C-alpha cells in the first residue's frame, strides 16, 4: 500500500472541464471517498489515476514517483468499475484469477487458488466460483468485481460507485464489509460515490467535488459540521439542509443571504410559528414538513409525536450556518 497524490491535475474533454486543478493526497491506509453528483468528474478522476486518461496539466504521484508517463499496468493500481467489468466469457473463478495471471504478476496456480478461496470467502461467493460470470445476480456480479480488485495487493484500490447498482439491504451489508476489509488489510482506498451514506459511514476522509473542482476535503464529521459552502452542506445530511432567507430570523451576520438549517439546528417550541403540512413516519425517522412564512422546512421529530397536519409549531434556529449570496459560508 502507498500514498497517492494529485497535484494540480486538470482534464478537459473538448470544452468540458471534467477535472479542474485538483490537488489531493490519499494517505497510506486512508479510505478516501470522493462525493459528488453525476457529472462531477468522479469517474474521470479515477481514470486519471489508473492511467486510462492522461491529464492536460498537473502531476500524479504514487509512492513518491510520478506516474504520468507510465502505462496502467505499470502503475500498480486495482480498479472496480461502475459497471461491466466481469468478463462474460469466463467463469467467476477465472475472472478472479485474471489479474493474478497477468504477465506482471504471474502468480503460481496454487497461490491463485488460495487467494481466490480467501477472497471468495470474504465476499460470500464461494458457492458461485464455477458459475459463468453471466449467471450471477447483480449483487453477486458486483461482489466478484470487488473481489477481482481484492485478490491483488496494489498501491491503491480505486472504486467507482461499486455499490450503486445494488439493492438497499445488500448495499448496507457490503458497506460494512468493505470498511472492515479495508481496515484489516490496511489498504489505501479511493472510493467515489454520489451516496452520502456511503461517504459518511466508510470514509476516513471525504472530498467533495463540484463540476470537477475539489471544493472541500476533510474528515466526514468536519465536513458535515463545517461545510465551506451551501453546495457542500447540501451534499451531506438527511433530510437535506433547509435553505431560508437570512432575514427571516434576527441575528444573521452581515452579508448573509441564506441560513442553512439542519434538523439539529432547529429548536422546536420557541420562535416563529410554522404550520405542520405533513408528518412522515419512515420507521427510523419521523419527518415534519413545515410551512414557515411560505418556505418549506423539513425537520425531525419524536417517533410518537402528537403533531398532525394543520397544527402549529414554533421554531427558531440554533447554531445555524450562514452563507453569502454566492453560497460561500460566512458563519
Ligand X SMILES: Nc1ncnc2c1ncn2[C@@H]1O[C@H](COP(=O)(O)OP(=O)(O)O)[C@@H](O)[C@H]1O
Give me the residues that bind Mg ion (CB under 5 A), please.
43
Residue nearest to Mg ion (CB): 43
With H, G, I as helix, E, B as strand and everything else as coil, classify residue 38.
Answer: coil
b (16+ CB within 10 A) / e for 45-59: bbbbbbbebebeebe
Any idea which residue has 480467501 for its cell? Answer: 118
Residue 2 cell numbers, joined: 502507498
Choosing from 98, 201, 211, 275, the residue that interacts with other proteins (CB under 8 A) is: 98
Choosing from 31, 81, 231, 323, the residue that interacts with other proteins (CB under 8 A) is: 81
Q: Nearest approach, Cβ of 158 to other proteins (angstroms)?
A: 8
- Is 117 within 8 Å of 150 (Cβ atoms)? no
Q: Nearest approach, Cβ of 144 to other proteins (angstroms)?
A: 12
Q: Does 13 sit near ligand X (CB under 6 A)?
A: yes
Choosing from 84, 169, 254, 308, the residue that interacts with other proteins (CB under 8 A) is: 84
Binding mask 99-128 toward other proteins (x if CB under 8 A, else -) reads x--xxxx-----------------------
Q: Does 316 sit near ligand X (CB under 6 A)?
A: no
Q: List, in sequence order, every beta strand (DSSP E) within the chain.
A: 4-13, 16-26, 31-35, 57-62, 65-66, 77-80, 156-160, 189-193, 205-210, 213-218, 242-245, 258-261, 266-281, 286-292, 295-301, 312-317, 321-323
Under rule CB under 6 A, which residues in 30-49 are in contact with ligand X? 36, 38-44
- Is 313 within 8 Å of 290 (Cβ atoms)? yes
Residues making contact with other proteins (CB under 8 A): 50-52, 71-73, 75, 77-79, 81, 83-85, 87-89, 98-99, 102-105, 148, 152
Residues making contact with ligand X (CB under 6 A): 13, 16, 18, 36, 38-44
Amino acid at each position: 500500500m502507498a500514498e497517492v497524490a494529485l497535484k494540480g491535475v486538470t482534464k478537459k474533454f473538448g470544452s468540458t472541464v471534467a477535472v479542474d486543478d485538483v490537488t489531493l493526497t490519499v494517505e497510506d491506509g486512508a479510505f478516501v471517498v470522493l462525493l459528488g453528483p453525476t457529472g462531477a468528474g468522479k469517474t474521470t478522476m479515477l481514470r486519471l489515476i489508473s492511467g486510462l486518461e492522461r491529464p492536460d496539466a498537473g502531476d500524479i504521484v504514487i509512492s513518491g514517483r510520478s506516474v504520468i508517463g507510465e502505462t496502467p499496468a505499470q502503475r500498480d493500481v486495482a480498479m472496480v468499475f461502475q459497471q461491466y467489468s466481469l468478463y462474460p466469457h469466463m467463469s467467476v473463478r477465472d475472472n478472479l484469477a485474471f489479474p493474478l495471471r497477468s504477465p506482471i504478476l504471474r502468480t503460481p496456480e496454487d497461490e491463485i487458488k488460495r487467494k481466490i478461496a480467501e477472497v471468495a470467502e470474504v465476499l460470500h461467493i464461494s458457492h458461485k466460483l464455477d458459475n459463468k460470470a453471466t449467471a450471477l445476480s447483480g449483487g453477486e456480479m458486483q461482489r466478484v468485481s470487488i473481489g477481482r480488485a481484492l485478490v491483488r495487493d496494489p498501491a491503491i484500490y480505486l472504486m467507482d460507485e461499486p455499490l450503486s447498482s445494488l439493492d438497499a439491504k445488500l448495499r448496507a451489508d457490503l458497506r460494512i464489509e468493505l470498511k472492515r476489509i479495508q481496515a484489516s488489510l490496511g489498504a489505501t482506498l479511493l472510493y467515489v460515490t454520489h451516496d452520502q451514506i456511503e461517504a459518511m459511514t466508510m470514509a476516513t476522509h471525504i472530498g467533495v467535488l463540484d463540476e470537477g473542482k475539489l471544493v472541500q476535503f476533510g474528515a466526514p464529521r468536519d465536513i458535515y459540521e463545517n461545510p465551506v459552502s451551501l453546495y457542500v452542506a447540501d451534499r451531506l445530511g438527511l433530510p437535506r439542509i433547509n435553505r431560508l432567507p437570512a432575514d427571516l430570523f434576527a441575528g444573521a451576520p452581515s452579508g448573509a443571504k441564506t441560513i442553512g438549517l439542519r434538523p439539529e439546528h432547529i429548536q422546536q417550541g420557541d420562535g416563529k410559528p410554522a404550520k405542520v403540512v405533513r408528518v412522515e413516519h419512515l420507521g427510523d425517522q419521523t419527518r415534519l414538513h413545515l410551512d414557515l412564512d411560505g418556505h418549506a422546512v423539513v425537520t425531525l421529530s419524536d417517533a410518537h409525536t402528537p403533531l398532525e397536519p394543520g397544527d402549529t409549531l414554533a421554531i427558531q434556529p440554533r447554531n445555524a450556518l450562514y452563507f453569502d449570496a454566492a453560497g460561500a459560508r460566512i458563519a
